[in-house]
Amino acid sequence: MKHLPLLALLALYSLSAQAVEGMWQPHQMPQLAEQLKAHGLELDPQSISRLDQYPMNAIVSLGFCSASFVSPQGLIVTNHHCAYGAIQYNSTDDNNLLQKGFYAPELKDELPGGPGLYVYVTEKIEDVTDRIVPKLKGLHGLERYNRQESIEKALVRECETSETLRCSIYTFHGGLKFYRIRQLQIRDVRLVYAPAESIGKFGGDTDNWMWPRHTGDFSFLRAYVSPDGQSVQYNPDNVPYQPKSHLTINPAGLKEGDFTMVLGYPGRTSRHRLAEELEDNIHWHYPMVIQHYNRVVDIIEQQTADRPDAAVKYASSLAGINNYTKNSQGMLDGFANPAPIEAKKAREQAFLHWAKKQGRDDALASIEKLKQLLAENRKHRDRDFFYGLFNFGAMPSSANRLYRFAIEKQKPDSEREPAYQKRNWDRIKNRLKRLQRRFDPQVEQAVLEYALSQYLELPKSEHIPPLDAFFGLKGDGKDTARIHKKLTAMYAKTGLKNEETRLGWLEKDAKAIERSDDPFLQLAVALFDWRMQREKQNKALYADIEEARMHYMAALLDYARAQNLPIYADANSSLRITFGNVMGYSPKDAVWYQPFTSLRGIAEKYTGEGEFDAPAQEMEAIRRQDYGRWASEWLHSVPVNFLSDLDITGGNSGSATLDSRGRLVGLAFDGNYESINADWIFKADVARTIHVDIRYMLWIMDRIDHADRLLEEMQVAH
C-alpha cells in the first residue's frame, strides 16, 4: 500500500483531534452519527446503540477486563493478561501453563477458570436518576449515604428477578445521573486456549506501555450453562452457552487510515476532577505507589527465588503490581512537563470566570466546599495506605471478611452491607477459595512485616490503638522484632491457611469467631470497632464529596455545552464505545512511529531468554517466512500489533477492536506511554491505543499452536 497523501493525512489528523476524545455511552451513538460517518463507519450508528443488536450483544465483561463472543458456542476472546489468573489457577510447578501455554483439543479438555471468574452480558441500561436524586435533597453526610444506599438496594432487588441476572447502579457525572444496568451473569467460565507466555507476554514489563510492541496478548475462554440453560457454577455436565450473537472475523485486518472502534468496559478516568486533585496524585499518590509497591515486588521476588511453586502462585499478583507501578511512573513522567497541568488549571480558571459571569454562585460554593472536603480526606492518608498494604495479605483480609460476614448475616438481607447481601455470598465464598492457589505464608509474612515497618514510622497520633495493642507495640525500638515474632507465631498457628477450615467459618456465627483462638480471627475481632468507626466516617465524607461534586458538575456541563465541548462521562466500568482511525504518532521532535509492527520486529528483539524469548517453532516459522495466508501484502509480513487514536483506559483490556462494518480485527490491550496520563488529560496528538492484530492471532493459532478446532469454530479455517 502507498502511504496516504500529505493533505489526506493532515485532514485525518485534524478530524481526529476534534472527535476521538470520549468514551461514549451506547445511547449517544445516534448523536455522533455525523462524526462516525466522517471517520469511516459503514454501519448504521443506531445499531451500535442497541444492546439487543449486533455487535453490542456480543460484547461482554469479565468484571475486570472486557471480552466478546466469537462463536455460536459461547467461545470468548480476550487478552492473555486478562486470562492470566485462569491460566495461573490451573498451573503448578510441574505443569506450568503460564510458560508453555494451553490448548484444549476438545470441549471435554477445557479447564475450569477458577472460582469467581464470571462473564457478564449487558442486556439493559435504564436511567433511574429521578428515582434517586430527588430523594436525597436536603440530606448530608451519613444520612445521605444511607438513604442513597437503601434506594439503590431496592432498585437492584426490583431488577434481579432471577439468579442469572446481576443488576447494578452506576453513577455518572459525579452524581448528576444514575443508570441501572442489568446483566446476564454466567458463572461457569473455562480456559480454552492460551499461547505460551513468551508469546502472550513477549517483551514483558520492559515493553509494557511502550511502542513499538510485538505482544500476542490474546486468549480464549468459553461460557457454560446447565443443560436447561441456567447460569450455575462449574459442573462437568454443563454445556456451552449459546449467545444471541457473536462477532464475525475479518482476517484481512486493517491498514493505515482505516476506521476502527473499540467496544468494552473502561475502568476509571478523572478528567472532570479539579486540578488540585491531579496535583495531589502527582505529589503523593503516585510516588507512594512507586516506592512501596516496588518494594513489595522485590520482597515477593526474593521470597519466591528458588521456590517455583510459590512463584507460580504470585505470578498474577506480580503482573498486576508491576503494571500499576509502571502506570504510576508514566503518570509522573507525563506530568514532568508542567504544560498539561497548567493547561488544566487554565481551563478550570476559564470555567470559574464563566461561572462568575453567569452568576453561578452554586458552582463557586460547591468548588470551595469540595476543596475543604478533599483536604479532610487527606488527613489520614499515610496511615490508610499502610494499613491497606497490610490487608494485602490473604490471612488478615480473609479474617476480616469472615467476621464481618458473621455479623451481617444476622440482619435482614435488605439491611446488610451491600457486599454482604445474599446475592454476593457466592462471591465471598469464591474469593476465599481461590486464594488457596495465590497464597504462600512465607511470602505473605514478609510483605506484612514490611507494611507494619512503614506503619511504625508514622507519628503516634496516626497509629491505630487496637493494632498497636494486638502486636504489643511500645515505640521503644524493639517493635520490629515484636512484629516478626508475633506474625511468625500467627502463621504457624492459624487454620485459615487451610481451604476447608477457612470455608467452614462461613457457617459459624459471630460469637464462635469471637471465642476462636485463631490469631488472625482474633486480630479481626480486635480491630472491628475501629474499622466500623472509620467506615462510618468515610461514608459520611464520601456522601458530602459526591454532593459537592454533583453541583460542580452541573455547572461544568452547562459550561461545556456553551463552549461546544465534547460531553461524555468519566469511565466507570460501564459499557462504552470509542472510535477513530489507525494511525501512528510523533512522540518527540524528529521521531515518527509507524502504526504497524510485524514478525520482523520479533526476530529483531529476540534474545532467547527472559522477556524477549519466543517459542522455537515461532522463530523457525519467522526465519522461513512461513506466513500462510495471514501476511499483509503491503507490510510483506504478518502484522503483529497496531496503533489507533482511540480513547481507552484500564478495563478496556480485551475489548473487541472492530472495523467499519463491525467485524473483529483485533483486541485492545494497552496504551502508549505518552497516553498514560490521558486518565486526567486527553492529548489527541499523542494518545494512542495498542491493539493485537487479528492476523497475528490467527497466524499463531494456525502455524504455531495448530488450534484448528477453534479456527473452524470461528469460521476462518479455510
| Active-site residue set | 81, 217, 653
For residue 55, whether the previous peptide bond is cis, meaning omega lies within 30 degrees of 0, is yes
Q: Which of 699, 714, 702, 691 is nearest to 214 (CA)?
A: 691
Strands 119-127 and 177-186: antiparallel
Task: Please provide the distance, in angstroms rounded to a whole number, between the alpha carbons at the two ends of the chain.
Answer: 25
Q: Which of 641, 568, 685, 660 is nearest to 28 (CA)?
A: 568
Backbone angles phi, psi at 186, to 5 degrees: -105, 125
- CA-to-CA distance for 641 and 635, rounded, in angstroms? 12
b/e per residue, 299-329, with b = 16+ CB within 10 A?
A: bbeebbeeeeebbbbbbbbbbebbbebbbbb
Could you tell me which residues come within 8 angstroms of residue 500 by beta carbon, excluding any fewer than 6 positions away?
none
Note the maximum CA span of the chain: 77
As given in the structure block, the three cell numbers for residue 13 are: 489528523
- Grid cell 434506594 — which residue? 151
As given in the structure block, the three cell numbers for residue 716 are: 476462518
Give alpha helix (H) positions in 629-717: 694-699, 708-713
Q: Which of 343, 250, 310, 288 is nearest to 92 (CA)?
A: 310
**At residue 308, what is the residue type?**
P
* Other C-beta atoms lying within 10 Å of the C-beta of residue 330: 21
* Other C-beta atoms lying within 10 Å of the C-beta of residue 703: 17
CA 678, 682, 687 angle in degrees (round to 5)? 75
For residue 236, whether the previous peptide bond is cis, meaning omega lies within 30 degrees of 0, is no
Helix (H) or strand (E) holding 48: helix 45-48
CA 472, 475, 479 angle in degrees (round to 5)? 55
b/e per residue, 197-236, with b = 16+ CB within 10 A?
A: bbbbbbbbbebbbbbbbbbbbbbbbbbbbeeeeebbebee
* Other C-beta atoms lying within 10 Å of the C-beta of residue 258: 18
- CA-to-CA distance for 326 and 172, rounded, in angstroms? 28
Q: How far is CA 703 from the centre of its chain?
A: 31
Strand pairing partners for 221? 76, 191
* DSSP-derived 3-state class of residue 7: helix
CA 566, 271, 590 angle in degrees (round to 5)? 85
* Other C-beta atoms lying within 10 Å of the C-beta of residue 53: 17
Q: How far is CA 119 from the centre of its chain?
A: 14
Strand pairing partners for 168? 181
- DSSP annotation string for 312-362: HHTHHHHHHHHHHHHHHHHHHHHTSSSHHHHHHHHHHHHHHHHHHHTT-HH
- DSSP annotation string for 521-533: HHHHHHHHHHHHH
